[in-house]
Chain A
Amino acid sequence: MKRLLIVMAALALVATACGGGSDSQASADDCTLGQTDGDLNLYNWTEYIPTGSLAEEAEVTDLIAAFEDEFGVNVVLTEYDSNETMLAQIDAGVAYDVVVPSDYMVSIMRSDDLLVKLNPDTVPNMANIADEFTALPYDPGNLYSAPYQWGTTGIGYKYGEIDDENGVSWGVIFDPAMNADNTGFISLLDDERETMGAALIYLGYSLNTTSEAEVDEAAALIKATKDRIAAFSSAGYWDLLTSGETMVSQGWNGDFLAAYDEASTDEYDAYEDFGYAIPTEGAAAWVDTIAVPATVEHPCTAQTFINFILDAKNGATLTNYNYYASPNAAAEEFIWEDILEWEAIYPPDDVVQRLEFFEDLGDFGTYYADAYSAAKS
């Protein structure tokens, strides 16, 4: 038995050593505009691209069917619910042609050589991207990724439960004196960067701080707030709000609006009861991007798909469907008027000034993770 164990140990070592590296840096450079080289394996966030019955319900174009029709290939859509899940798949060598990583994840994937550089000739629609989104720190010049959608992390709440006359403060979550009535009816995201970020902003610090003292202070604030909140939740918090289990909730703008839509019926308009605010102290903003992972098998189809998404009309369809703002400047004329005027989606300039993007903090990221775990234990 002992000898068998040793053999197994050796086998496991070999298996893990082989699994790690992926040298399939497929040559995306040889592709030409509109070329396809096989079916598309798309790996995207849940319900982030209009297709099937959901597209029908939202009365927007089924983008996947449209791509299939136009280029004569099949699209296989797989969905994920967190950047880390996607990263683990790509890192393990699972083949996908296109992924949708968030800003900080682009940094991580670039450092680990998990993204394929785009061939500018195959994605001329990159010119549609608004100037603000062409030089962000995670990928200056958008060499490896194209901005897909952007959004904010703010507060969704039930009208009448908090004072929102002069804007909403993060204090409705972190200051017991400001919102004593809703003790036990508040939810925070369950994510060390987002949750700690809200506390850091409330305390007046940057959400990308690398000061241990500031992070410790934010962790202490979350620990002190724990008794007042119902749940830490990054998925389903919108349902808690619309079903009355919470009154105040930290979350992503598009999630809230989609939930309000879903809660509305022919007789009931949820927007009369629920709102979304970017707090007065500021908030986190993020960009999700569309990119080609190192495990790509059909690099030409992948880039053709990215160019297809960056098309003005298709970019507008994304926003009309998922209620997140489009980084695509050319798309604006095709986005529905009421969405463009919707401040929860397109915040006014003075609010945009208060937004801050998350940056990858490298090794310091574990300090956030540990401080957050400590705050919750």
Chain B
Amino acid sequence: MTLTDERKPSEEEAANPELERGAERREAWRGFLHAVPAYAYLIVFFVLPLVIVFVFSFASRGRTGRPLLEDWNVDGWARLTDPLVRTIVGRSLLVAVMNTVFCLVIGYAFAYWIATRRKQSTRTLLLILVLIPFWSNFLVRTYAWRMLLDSDGYITQLGEFTGLWGRTLFTLPAVFLGLLYGYLPFMVLPLYAAIERIDWSLVEAGRDLYASGVKAFLRITLPLSRPGIIAGSILVFVPSLGAYVTPDILGGAKTTLLGNFIVTQFGAARNWPFGSALSGAILIVMLLATILYFRTGGRTV
């Protein structure tokens, strides 16, 4: 929708409403044509799978677990209130919130540091360094962490040398470390974008008016970087909520999180309707979070 740039009507068009409407129509049509690939992409890879998930969430489970598109029911959705689901959702939320907070604290400091480097080339280099891990597969990188954290790993050796920690592989801290590592870039990038465009003369003005450094940060820098904070938090929170690989590989699959629970429903438990309802519920939460984001002025990013 942002593709249709708002053209000011020329004087001639303004004088002739018929011409103006025609121009508007042409404009709208052209905008639509521009957006066709995007619409097609969204429909094929987003709307359609989403619809399928919702359809299956009302299906029934055959005796052998095969999803049957008959006897439509809401059992899958009803089960979302199970104590078991509540426990798993509660833990997943806790993990996702904590990971978002960790990422925000570390990511903010890091993004602030990058954004305040004087030379553009330095900033570009630092950003490339943030992006480099994406050149290899997330699964491979998680397995690399496993090697760092296992009995012979460098991190374990460091811990044993200093006497501070032992083998961290297959513990909750290992899961948090893996999540922090995996999602930190999603926090840093939007924060960088937001902080970089701050008009620093505003901070200077604040300091001129005797605001302390802390106060200037809290009253000027932080509010101005809010769009970045919100965007980064959503980008970290949503995938953390569905994290599946990290708890399995680094945590030893000892704690069922939402992601693992959903995989079980589609795999061994063969309960597609319930798994679909769970996925659908997460999707709804995601959509609500995104809507909230746009409502609170995230558009400026």
Q: Which residues of A contact B (CB under 8 A)?
A: 4-5, 8-9, 11-13, 15-17, 20, 82, 84-85, 88, 91, 107-108, 111-112, 184, 187, 190-193, 226, 229-233, 243-245, 360, 362-363, 365-366, 369-370, 373-374, 376-377
Contact B63 A363 (CB under 8 A): yes
Query: Is B66 on the interface with A (CB-CB < 8 A)?
Result: yes
Task: Check if B62 is an interface residue, CB within 8 A of chain A.
Answer: yes
Q: A8-B47, A13-B55, A369-B271 are in contact. Are A229 and B254 (CB under 8 A)?
A: yes
Of B64, B252, B255, the residue contacting A233 (CB under 8 A) is: B252
Chain B positions within 8 Å of A190 at CB level: 253
Contacts of B254 in A (CB 8 A): 226, 229, 231-232, 376
Of the candidates A4, A16, A88, A108, the one whose C-beta lies within 8 Å of that of B56 is: A16
Contact among A16, A226, A229 with B52 in the assembled complex (CB-CB below 8 Å): A16
Q: Contacts A243-B150, A369-B268: A231 and B48 contacting too (C-beta < 8 A)? A: no
Most buried by A among B63, B169, B170, B268: B268
Asked whether any CB of chain A lies closer than 8 Å to the CB of B88, the reply is: yes
* Complex Cα–Cα for A5 and B47 (A): 8
Check if A8 sits within 8 Å of B91, measured CB to CB: no
Residues of B within 8 A of A20 (CB): 69
Is the pair A365, B65 in contact by a Cβ cutoff of 8 Å? yes
Given the known interface contacts A192-B268, A369-B264, the answer about A12 and B52 at a Cβ–Cβ threshold of 8 Å is: yes
Q: B122 at interface (Cβ–Cβ under 8 A)?
A: no
A231 touches B252 (CB 8 A): yes
B243 to chain A minimum Cβ distance, whole angstroms, is 14
Partner of A366, one of B51, B55, B87, B271: B271
Number of residues of chain B lying within 8 A (CB) of chain A: 38
Residues of A within 8 A of B271 (CB): 366, 369
Distance between A143 CB and nearest chain B CB, rounded to angstroms: 18
Does B64 lie within 8 Å of A377, measured CB to CB? no
Rounded to whole Å, the gap between the CB of A284 and the closest CB of chain B is 15
Q: Given known contacts A192-B268, A369-B264, is B65 in contact with A108 (CB within 8 Å)?
A: yes
Q: Is B142 an interface residue (CB 8 A)?
A: no
A107 to B65, CA, bound (A): 12
B15 part of interface (Cβ distance < 8 Å): no
In the complex, 18 of the A-B residue pairs with CB atoms within 8 angstroms, ordered by the A residue number, are A8-B47, A9-B55, A12-B48, A12-B55, A13-B55, A16-B69, A84-B266, A85-B267, A108-B64, A112-B66, A192-B268, A230-B169, A231-B253, A243-B150, A245-B151, A370-B84, A373-B256, A376-B255
Contact (A362, B63) CB under 8 Å given A12-B55, A20-B69, A226-B254: yes
Bound Cα distance from A85 to B56, whole angstroms: 18
Known: A8-B47, A12-B55. A365 touches B270 (CB 8 A): yes
Is B268 within 8 A of A232, CB to CB?
no
